[in-house]
Amino acid sequence: MQIKILGTGCAKCSLLERNVKAVIETHQLQDIFLEKVTDFEEILKYNILTTPGLVIDGETKSSGGIPSNQQILSWLKND
């Protein structure tokens, strides 16, 4: 599974990254590749208007806010 955190380094972007890492570690999820995307041109390819963005296996799951850890876990277990 490939996860991308889209953002230029704002506080919300960092928080989303920490939350995703915490969910992965807490639930001992395997075979996950986490990537932080900070390049503005690359972020634009995902058609999000506000950061942070969360992309799982090429599908944008959220943008502009911080999903709950429970929602993140749900996406990771279902994808």
Catalytic machinery residues: 10, 13
DSSP string, the chain: -EEEEE-SS-HHHHHHHHHHHHHHHHTT--S-EEEEE--HHHHHTTT-SSS-EEEETTEEEEESS---HHHHHHHHHH-
